């Protein structure tokens, strides 16, 4: 006899499959650029991640959600309406900042066609779980959708997001959570190897410190010039599950020394998480090291749209944490990245994946050119999604893969630099509105007439900025997320310009 929980899971799986099969294609086609068919986009910045990630990001999850608020700007497109969902109400100054990026004549259209709703719940769990506990919010979403077709655009798709789709009877443009294993670090390495995408030497399916030591030892014996290895948790984001082991001062054949090193750098929580799986791979090093990535969408018809390439800026104690990016990636290697990403997308589609994904790479100068190494697959949106999405909505441009250039309808090009980590302690005393006004006063406002001046986007906690430029920036070198809702609190927000 099956366990009741197993029966419920199977039933939800069947319902989700039926929903996707019967509703997704019509909604997806209505949302294609230029179709102008009446439809609703449900923007769902819900992060289905391991609880350790929520503990790490803490109070920053709310501002991270608000990066996705740019989707309301899509209401300028004929036929498009948007519901934006969040854990907590979005500060009025942040809404004001996004609306200020649109032409003045379009702002009323955006306010009429969009709806902001919050669960008013700051607890550290996926937004979708909070919404499932809130019948009032779900009913409001259903009334807003009415008889129009609708499509959920989420950050990733886990069980909570699947269950929310079922509850709303709205399909998701994303991969069934049963296939999330396609994007673990181990599975990604196997896929790269199978389809001929270059990757660093490494070992998959590591589950213990002893396994780390054995893999690191074997890699060093095979490559005496190896300067170190990176240990990665199979299910982690933004580089927070990565630990670098450098071989400085260690003898080549020294398992005992490696064991001591692992004990020194690997905390208890990491050892526990490693039981779920991880990889050990050669640390890519060399002249001109960069950390580029490629972002694409797997369409329902199997077409792979390569949307962008970026040079990522990495930081943190070991240089493994995403902090920002420049777009597009360097022309010397960006076309190759685009081609590799398309090849990965084709393989993922053959396995049933849909929607947004990205591939991270390492690039170093070798033999007069650039050597690329695929590092991991992210079967979700990520840190480069927000600045690219803002740019595409504001300019209407497209990315030319072979030219590695973002081109507007008039033939001019745009590029940008964006950061998640523009930090000044003095800014923490300022509201987002104050920061925006000071930036505007310094000449950092967005000029909708030429679609080319820097655009501060939301500025949660005074930490994010995003600028559009006509000249390509330098590639990144070294070269993303409390309490319960107050009883009786209002969750519906009016979209409009805040008072200065």
> Which among 422, 418, 416, 417 is positioned nearest to 462, based on CA atoms?
422
DSSP letter, residue 471: S
Shared domain check, 223 and 160 = no
Residue 63 to residue 54: CA distance in whole angstroms: 13
Contact 414, 470 (CB under 8 A): yes
> Per the domain annotation, does 56 fall within a domain?
yes
As for how many domains the chain has, the answer is: 3
pLDDT digits (tens, 9 = 90+) for 243-258: 999 998 887 788 898 9
58 phi-psi bin (left φ>0, alpha ψ -120 to 50, beta other): left
pLDDT at residue 358 tops 80: yes
For residue 167, name the pLDDT band (cuts at 50, 70, 90).
very high
CA distances from 301 to 32, 172, 304, 349 (A): 12, 15, 9, 9
End-to-end CA distance of the chain: 64
> Per the domain annotation, does 482 fall within a domain?
no
Q: Tokens 């049933």 map to which residue? A: 352
> Per the domain annotation, does 43 fall within a domain?
yes
Helix axes 92-99, 104-113, angle to 10 degrees: 130
> Which among 365, 301, 300, 372 is positioned nearest to 335, based on CA atoms?
372
What's the domain range around 150? 4-173
What pTM did the predictor assign? 0.85
pLDDT digits (tens, 9 = 90+) for 419-478: 877 777 877 788 877 887 887 888 777 776 666 554 544 443 333 344 455 555 444 433
Residue 104 to residue 94: CA distance in whole angstroms: 17
> Per the domain annotation, does 314 fall within a domain?
yes
SS3 breakdown of the chain: % helix, strand, coil, rounded to 5? Answer: 40, 25, 40
pLDDT at residue 367 tops 80: yes
Domain end residue (candidates: 282, 316, 350) = 282
> Per the domain annotation, does 474 fall within a domain?
no
pLDDT at residue 499 tops 70: no
Contact 385, 312 (CB under 8 A): no
Mean pLDDT of the chain: 85
DSSP letter, residue 290: B
CATH number of the domain within which 265 lies:
3.30.1490
pLDDT digits (tens, 9 = 90+) for 41-88: 999 999 886 666 666 666 667 678 888 999 999 999 999 999 999 999
CATH number of the domain within which 367 lies:
3.30.470.20
With vertex at residue 395, the alpha carbon angle to CA 61 and CA 108, rounded to the nearest 5 degrees, is 75
Across 191-200, 376-385, 416-425, which has the greatest mean pLDDT?
A: 191-200
Q: What is the pLDDT of residue 2?
A: 63
Shared domain check, 327 and 456 = yes
Contact 326, 474 (CB under 8 A): yes
For 84-95, letters b (16+ CB in 10 Å) and e give: bbbbbbbbbbbb
> What residues contact residue 66 under an 8 Å CB cut-off, 6+ apart?
45, 86, 90, 94, 458, 460
Shared domain check, 295 and 263 = no
Q: Tokens 């990176």 map to which residue? A: 230
> Per the domain annotation, does 48 fall within a domain?
yes
Residue 493: is the preceding peptide bond cis (ω within 30°)?
A: no
> Per the domain annotation, does 105 fall within a domain?
yes
pLDDT at residue 352 tops 70: yes
Shared domain check, 261 and 295 = no
pLDDT average, residue stretch 220-247 = 87
Shared domain check, 310 and 264 = no
Q: What is the pLDDT of residue 127?
A: 95
For residue 203, name the pLDDT band (cuts at 50, 70, 90).
very high
> Which among 133, 58, 474, 140 is positioned nearest to 290, based on CA atoms?
474
Q: What is the pLDDT of residue 477?
A: 38
More confidently predicted of 156 and 237: 156
Q: What is the pLDDT of residue 236?
A: 77
> Per the domain annotation, does 185 fall within a domain?
no
């Amino acid at each position: 006899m099956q366990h009741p929980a197993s029966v419920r899971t199977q039933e939800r799986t069947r319902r989700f499959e039926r929903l996707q099969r019967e509703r997704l294609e019509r909604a997806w086609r209505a949302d294609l650029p230029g179709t102008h068919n009446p439809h609703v986009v449900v923007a769902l910045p819900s992060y289905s991640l391991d609880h350790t990630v929520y503990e790490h990001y803490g109070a920053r999850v709310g501002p991270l959600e608000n990066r996705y608020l740019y989707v309301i700007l899509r209401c300028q497109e004929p036929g498009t309406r948007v519901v934006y969902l969040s854990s907590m109400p979005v500060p009025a100054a942040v809404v004001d900042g996004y609306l200020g990026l649109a032409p003045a004549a379009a702002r009323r259209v955006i306010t009429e066609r969009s709806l902001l709703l919050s669960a008013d719940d700051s607890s550290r769990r996926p937004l979708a779980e909070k919404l499932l506990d809130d019948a009032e919010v779900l009913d409001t979403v259903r009334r807003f959708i009415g008889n129009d077709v609708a499509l959920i655009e989420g950050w990733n798709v886990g069980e909570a997001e699947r269950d929310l789709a079922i509850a709303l009877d709205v399909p998701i443009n994303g991969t069934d959570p049963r296939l999330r294993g396609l994007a673990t670090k181990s599975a990604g390495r196997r896929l790269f190897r199978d389809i001929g995408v270059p990757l660093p030497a490494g070992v998959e399916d590591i589950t213990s410190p002893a396994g780390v030591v054995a893999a690191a030892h074997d890699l060093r014996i095979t490559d005496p010039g190896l300067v170190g290895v990176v240990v990665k948790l199979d299910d982690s984001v933004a580089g927070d599950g990565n630990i670098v082991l450098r071989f400085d001062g260690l003898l080549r054949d020294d398992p005992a020394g490696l064991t001591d090193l692992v004990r020194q750098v690997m905390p208890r929580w990491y050892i526990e998480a490693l039981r779920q799986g991880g990889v050990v791979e050669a640390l890519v090093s060399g002249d001109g090291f960069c950390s580029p990535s490629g972002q694409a969408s797997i369409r329902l018809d199997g077409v792979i749209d390569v949307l962008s390439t970026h040079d990522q800026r990495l930081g943190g104690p070991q240089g493994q944490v995403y902090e920002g990016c420049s777009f597009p990636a360097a022309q010397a290697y960006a076309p190759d990245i685009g081609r590799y990403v398309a090849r990965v997308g084709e393989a993922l589609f053959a396995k049933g994946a849909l929607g947004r994904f990205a591939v991270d790479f390492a690039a170093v100068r070798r033999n007069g050119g650039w050597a690329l190494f695929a590092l991991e697959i992210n079967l979700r949106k990520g840190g480069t999604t927000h600045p690219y999405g803002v740019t595409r909505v504001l300019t209407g441009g497209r990315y030319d893969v072979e030219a590695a250039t973002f081109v507007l309808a008039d033939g001019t090009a745009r590029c940008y630099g964006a950061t998640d980590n523009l930090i000044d302690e003095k800014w923490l005393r300022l509201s987002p509105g104050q920061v925006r006004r000071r930036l505007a006063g310094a000449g950092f406002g967005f000029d909708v007439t030429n679609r080319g001046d820097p655009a501060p986007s939301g500025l949660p906690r005074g930490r994010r900025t995003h600028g559009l430029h006509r000249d390509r920036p330098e590639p990144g070198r070294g070269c993303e997320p409390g309490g319960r809702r107050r009883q009786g609190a209002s969750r519906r927000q009016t979209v409009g310009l805040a008072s200065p």
